[in-house]
Amino acid sequence: MDADSKKKPQPVQLQVDDVTAQGAYANLVLLNHSETEFVLDFAFVQPGVPIAKVRSRILSSPLHTKRLMVALQKNLERYEERFGEIVLTEAEHLSVH
């Protein structure tokens, strides 16, 4: 092994501007994919309004999307250990395709 392959990955320092740090609330996500990328559209649906406004579109590689899924699963498990199980209704189960 050469010296470069023995190095530990350096942590990434994230910088967030004030507007981005505010975040954007989403209560709906639509997923699409091709062979080379996933598209995640995060939207906000207002009660009684049939149009959802997309707040953010994230494009991601299949590998990174898998990493995201694993990270979300681990965090949900930790959340449920602390706060209790999140129970989905049958309608919520059916809305996941």
* Total-model pTM: 0.77
C-alpha distances (whole Å) from 81 to each of 70, 71, 84, 92, 94 are 17, 15, 6, 22, 25
From 23, 32, 67, select the one nearest 41 (Cα to Cα).
32
Strands (E), the chain: 28-33, 38-45, 52-60
**Domain edges within the chain:** 22-94
Q: Provide the terminal-to-terminal Cα distance of the chain, rounded to the nearest Å.
A: 45
pLDDT, residue 89, reads 86
Could you tell me if 64 and 36 are in contact, meaning their C-beta atoms sit under 8 angstroms apart? no
What the block records as the tokens of 96 is 């996941």
pLDDT, residue 28, reads 93
pLDDT digits (tens, 9 = 90+) for 15-44: 999 999 999 999 999 999 999 999 999 999
